[in-house]
Structure 1
Amino acid sequence: MRAEARIFLILTAFFLIVAPVYWFTTHETTGTAALILTFFLSLMITGYLALIARRIDDRPEDKREGEIVEGAGEVGFFPPQSIWPLFCALSLAFVMVGIVIGWWIVIIAGALGVVSLTGMIYQYYRGEHAH
């Protein structure tokens, strides 16, 4: 996490320099406010990454002499194919169409959305991929 914290520290310094320069050259309040908020956002991310970097052990990416072999192992869990995201997206699409055409479609699509979201949440508790 140290490398990521350094990258965001550079971004924070960049926005700290750019925001006043932008204000003095354009005198635009909207862009200046956006740059100031971007500065605070990158400062917040920098602080979070720096705190996390102190808590965890060194990763191979953080070591100067780190090798690729050190990062080998299980990467994470990748879900198998699932049809439920398609049904969730279709339900949301029907809700949007229902807002335009008629509220009765929103009610039906909302019920289908609850069913499809429940199916997506509980897909690993039954069937072939249950654990």
Structure 2
Amino acid sequence: MKVEAWVFGILTVFVLVVAPIYWLMSDDPTGTTALVMTFFLALLVTFYLSVTGRRMDERPEDRKEAEIVEGAGELGFFPPHSWWPLWCGVTMAVVALGIVFGWWLFIVGCGVGIITLSGFIFEYYRGDHAH
């Protein structure tokens, strides 16, 4: 992960240099704010990747003399298809519409939201994909 940390570190430095130049040349508060937020997000990813890279053993991808067969094997758990994000999104739309049209719809949306969020969280604890 050291290469990835370096890539995001270079991006962080680039945005750090570009943001004040952009602010001085354009006087645009929106773009300047976006660049400052981009700096902090890139800094966050850089920090995470550098700390994780120091804690992990060396990966085959990090060595030049590594063979392809060294990277074989199980990579992790990748979830199958799920309908729960769709229902969570619909519920969030109902909650937002409840703020606009009436508090009764907001309360109904929050009640349905508890059910959909619970289904989304506990999806892999029961049913076909339980593990």
- TM-score using structure 2 length: 0.76
* 2:129 is the counterpart of 1:129: yes
Give unpaired runs (5+ residues) of structure 1: none
What residue is the counterpart of 2:118 in the other structure?
118
User: CA offsets per residue over residues 26-74 of structure 1, 9 Å max, x none?
Assistant: 2737355654554454344333322322221111221112233222211
The CA deviation at 1:107 is 0.9
Residue 77 of structure 1: SS of its match in structure 2? coil
What residue is the counterpart of 2:27 in the other structure?
28
Alignment partners' CA distance in 2, 1:81 and 1:38: 31
Name the % identity: 55
Alignment partners' CA distance in 2, 1:39 and 1:126: 41
Give unpaired runs (5+ residues) of structure 2: none
Alignment partners' CA distance in 2, 1:121 and 1:109: 18
Alignment partners' CA distance in 2, 1:16 and 1:59: 30
Root-mean-square deviation (Å) = 2.6
The CA deviation at 1:79 is 2.1
What residue is the counterpart of 1:18 in the other structure?
18
User: CA offsets per residue over residues 74-124 of structure 1, 9 Å max, x none?
Assistant: 122122333322221221111122222211111111111111111222222
- TM-score using structure 1 length: 0.76
Alignment partners' CA distance in 1, 2:32 and 2:85: 40
**May I ask how many residue pairs the two structures share in their alignment?**
130
* 2:2 is the counterpart of 1:2: yes
* 2:65 is the counterpart of 1:75: no
- Pick closer, same or farther for the CA change 1:83–1:34 going to 2, 3 Å: closer
